[in-house]
A and B are shown apart, each in its own frame.
Chain A
Amino acid sequence: MRAETQKPGGVRRFLRGYFLGTDHRAVGLAYFVTGFAMFFTGLGIMMLMRWQAAYPGNPFPLLGRLFGPDHPWMPGGMLLPNFYNQLGAMHGTTMVFLAVVPILVGGFGNYLVPLMVGAPNLAFPRLGRLGFWCYLVGIGVIYASFFSHGGPANSGWTSYPPLSVLEDGGQIYWLVGIIFVYVSSLLLAINLIVTVVQLRKPGMGFMELPFFVWTQLVTAFLLLLAFPPLAAAGLLQLSDRLVGTSFFLPGGLVVAGQTLDVSGGGSALLWQHLFWFLAHPEVYVLILPALGMVGTIIPANTGRPLYGYRGMVLSALFMGGMSFLVWAHHMFLTGMGATMNRFFETTTIIISVPSVVIGGSLVLSLWGGAIRFTPPMLYALAFLPMFGIGGLTGMPLAMPSTNIPLHDTMYVIGHFHYIVVLGTLFAVFGGMAHWFPRVSGRLLNGKLTVLHFGLSLLCLNAVFFPLLLQGLAGVSRRLYDGGASYAIGREVFFLNKAVTHSVIAFAVVQVLFLLNVLWSLRWGKPAGGNPWEADTLEWTEDRAP
């Protein structure tokens, strides 16, 4: 029994593994723990912002006492507009770069891929550890900006110039931190690809790899090839801020009635092209591993293999490749011209085809199976319609005619979060419930897990569905006061309070999940060797967890 073979734990042993371990499981768990810490940080930031949207001008409960009346960001616990902007930038940065990708690829990828391909470890164990250190330094630098003059970056997670070049806050910290995160992703991606290609069990062909490994492989290629342009853009922006160049500042730029003294010839759109060249593939980095997890949980709980495995693999490859050709659908508003718009509209619609093939195959994999409604399976089953809603709400954003009126509204927030929170996060919870026995030798408490599943599903739909409605009513996504001072969409502002209360309820439910994990680590039911009777290699490898 795995639970019996575990060595006694201890803070010292944990810290040693966390900082110095080179075993892929230690590296994976380090990413996982840190990624989840960042997830809760990002969630906390969002709670502050949502409170401001629902109760503009009112201090956040309890924080009024913590922050004095002269505090520069939150006097008396009330968010100031600039700090609201800064929190918006930090929420996006934290969730995308510091939480979800590290959990999906650094955590699940590092821990599971070597086990699933029968490899003894990562191909470059010390590079795996170095990548984690770079990730930690990236977090440290980005969050150190809270203590810098002017506070953290305030030009959104997209860091659009000219604001990002001209603003007074911690944009330099953001840029340096992102470059560290880039190095971390690079090392992570190289390690995973080499592990799969070189350390596969002898005789294991590529079309015999588990679907989860395929999704990690495609994701690693996306990280490898899509992130460098953002690093290059970051370098150029650093140069604009530190050396006085003007890669992203056009000549004749007027700010507050003054013509700026810039050398001229730069273009703010250049940043947008370089940024979205990473950031759209990044969406597939966020969703492909989730599809891989659901594609592992479903066969384990239906007793039959995936329907159309080969088609799913080819779709994942096609999706990965096409994701490099769709970036400018985020830029329809910039007036690129009808030809460019048509090209990116077409590629964006084409990329929905492999998503439908994979989603459809997952649904068809249920057909005729002896379905067991285990806790991981509940999350996986919920993922399918939520991913569907996220995908379908994306279709109007693929076309310029509907994208332009919706682009700057809450609709985009709702669509994106249906994909990444109700989709990816549910897959992550499902993956945690599925592989927790592999890691700890024990099962998560079933009742608490089901309770967490039901409440999270309810709360998150109560958070994001109203945002779709607000967006359709034309509510902008950048309102400091939740729309109190605007005329458009007044009939749907009442939803702000419901959304805020649902976010807080969701956060409380996550405490339940944390307690469940901590309780089950010590007192959970021993899982046995293969509790889900899965046929992937990680359950048959006899290495102790």
Chain B
Amino acid sequence: MSVPYAHTPRPDTGMTNARLGMGLFLAADAMFCGALFSSYAFLRTAAGYWPVGREVLPMRLNGLALAATATACAMALYAWTGARGTRLSTRVRAGSSAGWGALSLLLTAGALHQALENAGPPAANTFLAIYYMLSAVVTVHVVTASTLSAVTALKSARLGDNLLLSRLGSVGLLWAFTLFMAATCFISFYLL
């Protein structure tokens, strides 16, 4: 027996099952990341000394990674809102979102390498431990979102209109959350 509203929105809720499912997943994800940021705040307020991020960590590389993530997110949302256009343009936008995501990963890898060389390993102090932990969590999000963008771009020719729109919507939501995470991370370590 097929499951209703898998590809077409339910009239009274205006959502497909996947869109609601992704929204709920992101709510759980927000709680997960919220717990990590709360831990950051808890540890920082309890610490006697807390280093200044700008002086210890590779701000420029992290800033460039954030910019690449923002571009990837913008392309993913553009692919979603413009999905009524041609399949080719949708494929290009979703594909470029994955590409910008890959660039963000490269820049993050460089930043982590530089942090390891200049500041030390996670075990050196709690400041570095939480920096590496949050960076790792953001990285996992970028990897997931980039992979989903790439898969959607590759499969877009074979997907029906509704299914494609539903998938692009879910990927767009994931990218938006990833950007929010990356930006919060950047602000926490460099601007606060």
A residues whose Cβ falls under 8 Å from a Cβ of B: 120-125, 186, 189-190, 193-194, 197-199, 224-229, 231-233, 235-236, 239, 243-247, 263-267, 270, 273-274, 277
Contact of B28 with A186 in the complex, beta carbons under 8 Å? yes
Instruction: Looking at the assembled complex, report how far the CB atom of B104 sits from the nearest CB atom of chain A, in whole angstroms.
Output: 22
Q: Which of B16, B33, B46, B130 contacts A267 (CB 8 A)?
A: B46
By Cβ-Cβ distance, the 4 closest A-B pairs, closest first, are A244-B123, A265-B126, A229-B35, A228-B32
Compute how far the CA of A239 lies from the CA of B126 in the bound complex, rounded to whole angstroms. Answer: 11
Contacts of A121 in B (CB 8 A): 1, 3
Residue of A231, A263, A273 contacting most chain B CB atoms (<10 Å): A263
Supply 30 A–B pairs (Cβ within 8 Å), ascending by A.
A124-B3, A190-B21, A193-B24, A194-B17, A194-B24, A197-B13, A198-B17, A199-B5, A228-B35, A232-B33, A232-B35, A232-B36, A232-B39, A233-B39, A236-B133, A239-B122, A243-B123, A245-B122, A245-B123, A246-B129, A263-B126, A263-B129, A264-B125, A265-B46, A265-B47, A266-B126, A267-B43, A270-B39, A273-B42, A274-B35
In the complex, B27 has a CB within 8 A of chain A = yes
Contacts of B3 in A (CB 8 A): 120-125, 199
Q: Which of B32, B121, B130 contacts A231 (CB 8 A)?
A: B32
Compute how far the CA of A228 lies from the CA of B24 in the bound complex, rounded to whole angstroms. Answer: 12
Contact of A194 with B21 in the complex, beta carbons under 8 Å? yes
Contacts of A198 in B (CB 8 A): 4-5, 10, 13, 15-17, 20
Instruction: Looking at the assembled complex, report how far the CB atom of A409 sits from the nearest CB atom of chain B, in whole angstroms.
Output: 29
Compute how far the CA of A264 lies from the CA of B2 in the bound complex, rounded to whole angstroms. Answer: 56
Contacts of A225 in B (CB 8 A): 27-28, 31
Given contacts A186-B25, A239-B122, contact A247 B39 (CB under 8 A): yes
Mask of B151-170 contacts with A, CB within 8 angstroms, 1/0: 00000000000000000000
Contacts of B4 in A (CB 8 A): 120, 198-199
Contact of B27 with A224 in the complex, beta carbons under 8 Å? yes
Residues B34-83 near A (CB distance < 8 A): 34-36, 38-39, 42-43, 46-48
In the complex, B127 has a CB within 8 A of chain A = yes
Q: Which of A122, A197, A267 contacts B42 (CB 8 A)?
A: A267
Residue of B3, B4, B27 contacting most chain A CB atoms (<10 Å): B3
Instruction: Looking at the assembled complex, report how far the CB atom of B139 sits from the nearest CB atom of chain A, in whole angstroms.
Output: 14
Contacts of A267 in B (CB 8 A): 42-43, 46
Contacts of B34 in A (CB 8 A): 228-229
Contacts of B46 in A (CB 8 A): 265, 267
B residues whose Cβ falls under 8 Å from a Cβ of A: 1-5, 10, 13, 15-17, 20-21, 24-25, 27-29, 31-36, 38-39, 42-43, 46-48, 121-127, 129-130, 133
Instruction: Looking at the assembled complex, report how far the CB atom of A243 sits from the nearest CB atom of chain B, in whole angstroms.
Output: 5
Instruction: Looking at the assembled complex, report how far the CB atom of A2 sits from the nearest CB atom of chain B, in whole angstroms.
Output: 19
Compute how far the CA of A277 lies from the CA of B38 in the bound complex, rounded to whole angstroms. Answer: 12
Given contacts A267-B42, A270-B39, contact A247 B126 (CB under 8 A): yes
Q: Which of B1, B17, B39, B124 contacts A236 (CB 8 A)?
A: B39
Contact of B1 with A270 in the complex, beta carbons under 8 Å? no
Compute how far the CA of A195 lies from the CA of B47 in the bound complex, rounded to whole angstroms. Answer: 45
Instruction: Looking at the assembled complex, report how far the CB atom of A207 sits from the nearest CB atom of chain B, in whole angstroms.
Output: 14
Extra A-B contacts (11), CB below 8 Å, given A198-B10, A227-B28, A265-B47: A121-B1, A123-B3, A190-B24, A197-B13, A198-B20, A199-B4, A229-B35, A229-B38, A232-B36, A265-B43, A266-B43
Compute how far the CA of A122 lies from the CA of B34 in the bound complex, rounded to whole angstroms. Answer: 29
Compute how far the CA of A263 lies from the CA of B119 in the bound complex, rounded to whole angstroms. Answer: 14
Find the B residue at minimum CB distance from A267. Answer: B46
Contact of B24 with A189 in the complex, beta carbons under 8 Å? yes
Contact of B5 with A264 in the complex, beta carbons under 8 Å? no
Contacts of B35 in A (CB 8 A): 228-229, 231-233, 274, 277
Compute how far the CA of A190 lies from the CA of B18 in the bound complex, rounded to whole angstroms. Answer: 10
Find the A residue at minimum CB distance from B15. Answer: A198
Instruction: Looking at the assembled complex, report how far the CB atom of B47 sits from the nearest CB atom of chain A, in whole angstroms.
Output: 5
Contacts of A229 in B (CB 8 A): 31-32, 34-35, 38
